[in-house]
Amino acid sequence: MTIADRPLRLGTRGSPLALAQATMTAQALCAAHGWAQGAIEIVIVQTSGDRIQDRALAEIGGKALWTKELDRVLLEGEIDFAVHSMKDVETIRPDAITIAAMLPRADVRDRLIGAESLSALPPGAVVGTSSPRRSAQVRRARPDLSITLFRGNVATRLGKLDAGEADATLLAAAGLDRLGQGDIGCAIPVDAMLPAPAQGAVGIETLTENRAMRDLLAAISHADTFDCVMAERAVLRGLNGTCHSPIAALAQIAGEAIRIEAEILSADGAECVRGEAGIARGDDAGAMALGRSLLDRASPALRALFEA
């Protein structure tokens, strides 16, 4: 039985990737609790991030572009829980909302579509991306390449590539895999391109006061993913960053502890400050300190990027 005498309502964005992740979440929950498929109803909620397609999100500067509307319907009781790409979830959440679970993390790497590697691109080639992290990392590896703004969902970006708007683009392997397009492009090793904090992780939120829902969700949470992604989010918090900042971080389980690597870059990639630390699971303060230590070693100009 579910906790209500009606299907549980799972809120999600409406993009094909978001819907795939919502379906995975519903299936995991039904399997864990022995429910029939009809026990969960998927509710699509449009977000400002979905509506605004013509500008770089970093330029709009607005926060909570992907979560604000889902937060509202969750807080108003229109849905029981919500699913997000953790990469798009702000580091500071309202007290009334709790990240109750994360699904097992998928491939954390970025995939390059259009060439076998960044070094294989011809001189002066154009790479389409709207991610300040990816564009700074590309410029660092290949200062001769130019960047053009690519926004929209995965299919839109692949369409722009086909239309010749760029020679190559970068997308998260996790998103492509979940859309059944894992055969597209070449994965870039994490030591050549450190991924965004929380890349590849799906998180599920509910109301902090909804004890019953939190317990149901705990049953499908993957502890290693949860602890690593929380550590990456703490690095981001230590840097006062958002998903639009040129910040990369990757935490991995190492025995009983967590090994975490992080970097910040100037927009042109000329400056890159990298660091790593070993922290205990759940040691958010240790991860935040790693973030702050990068700032301590950055030039005044780079530091200023994070003080806005």
Ligand X SMILES: NCc1[nH]cc(CCC(=O)O)c1CC(=O)O
CB of 84 to ligand X, least distance (A): 9
Of these, 128, 132, 175, 197, which contacts ligand X (CB under 6 A)? Answer: 175
Q: What are the structure tokens assigned to 98, written together? A: 């709790």
Of these, 69, 71, 80, 88, which contacts ligand X (CB under 6 A)? Answer: 88
CB of 201 to ligand X, least distance (A): 6
Handedness of CA 81, 87, 35, 11 (dihedral sign): positive
Kindly state whether residue 85 participates in binding ligand X, applying the rule CB under 6 A. yes
Closer of 171 and 298 to ligand X (Cβ): 171
Please name which of 107, 88, 109 lies closest in space to residue 99, comparing C-alpha atoms. Answer: 88
CB of 58 to ligand X, least distance (A): 11
Which helix (DSSP H) or strand (DSSP E) does residue 277 occupy?
Answer: strand 272-280
Q: Which residue has the tokens 């690593």?
A: 228
- Residue in 88, 107, 110, 283 annotated catalytic: 88
Segment 201 to 260, residues that bind ligand X, using CB under 6 A: 201
Of these, 7, 132, 200, 269, which contacts ligand X (CB under 6 A)? Answer: 200
Distance CA 85, CA 102 (A): 10
Residue 144 known to be catalytic: no
Distance CA 19, CA 175 (A): 11
Stretch that binds ligand X, among 80-88, 144-152, 159-167, 256-264 (CB under 6 A): 80-88
Kindly state whether residue 197 participates in binding ligand X, applying the rule CB under 6 A. no
Instruction: Kindly provide the residue ranges of all beta strands, DSSP E only, lying in 88-150, ordered along the sequence.
Output: 97-102, 110-113, 126-128, 146-148
Q: Which residue has the tokens 């702050």?
A: 292
Distance CA 269, CA 295 (A): 16
Closer of 174 and 273 to ligand X (Cβ): 174
Q: Could you give the C-alpha distances from 300 to 295, 306, 307, in angstroms and in order?
A: 9, 10, 10
CB of 142 to ligand X, least distance (A): 20
Stretch that binds ligand X, among 40-48, 68-76, 170-178, 286-294 (CB under 6 A): 170-178
Kindly state whether residue 199 participates in binding ligand X, applying the rule CB under 6 A. yes
CB of 21 to ligand X, least distance (A): 8
Using alpha carbons only, give the angle 100, 103, 109 rounded to the nearest 5 degrees: 125
Stretch that binds ligand X, among 5-13, 28-36, 193-201, 247-255 (CB under 6 A): 193-201
Q: Could you give the C-alpha distances from 226 to 12, 31, 118, in angstroms and in order?
A: 20, 20, 31
Q: Could you give the C-alpha distances from 146 to 70, 127, 141, 247, in angstroms and in order?
A: 36, 6, 12, 20
Q: What are the structure tokens assigned to 141, written together? A: 């590896």
First-to-last CA distance in the chain?
49
Kindly state whether residue 137 participates in binding ligand X, applying the rule CB under 6 A. no
Stretch that binds ligand X, among 32-40, 82-90, 216-224, 291-299 (CB under 6 A): 82-90
Kindly state whether residue 262 participates in binding ligand X, applying the rule CB under 6 A. no
Stretch that binds ligand X, among 35-43, 114-122, 169-177, 219-227 (CB under 6 A): 169-177
CB of 48 to ligand X, least distance (A): 14
CB of 85 to ligand X, least distance (A): 4
Q: Which residues are catalytic?
A: 88
- Rule CB under 6 A: which residues touch ligand X? 85, 87-88, 171-172, 174-175, 199-201
